[in-house]
Amino acid sequence: MSARRKWFAALAVMVAVVGIGSVANASIPNSGTGLINACYNTDNGALRVIDTQIGQACRGVEQPLNWPSSGSRATS
């Protein structure tokens, strides 16, 4: 294996480890409020679950949605 391929392989492994660590650190539902936070895209109807505890937020064309992890009523 060439040095360039080894470098790219090492980089790919590092990116994967960081990605897995980020997912493992995510807190859904929110440990402070117990809510599941999401964003509804008003252009295409897509729903995206976010982790507000790590700074994720809705984008300009999205409306925030929050609901209790017990599954009762949604709030906006």
Counted residue by residue, the chain has a size of: 76
Whether 12 is in a domain gets the answer yes
Q: Alpha-carbon Rg of the chain, whole angstroms? A: 18
Per-residue pLDDT reduced to its tens digit, 39-62: 999 999 999 999 999 999 999 999
Looking at the predicted structure, is the pLDDT value of residue 73 above 90? no
Give domain status of residue 75, yes or no.
no
Domains of the chain: total: 1
Q: What is the pTM of this model?
A: 0.55
Backbone angles phi, psi at 41, to 5 degrees: -80, 115
Task: Determine the Cα–Cα distance for residues 52 and 32; give it in Å rounded to an integer.
Answer: 10
In this prediction, residue 9 has a pLDDT band, given cuts at 50, 70 and 90, of low
Structure tokens at 6: 């080894």
Whether residue 29 is predicted with pLDDT greater than 70 in this model: the reply is yes
Residue with tokens 């009762």: 72
| Residue 32 identity | G
- Write out the residue range of the structural domain in which residue 16 sits: 3-68
Task: Determine the residue type at 75.
Answer: T
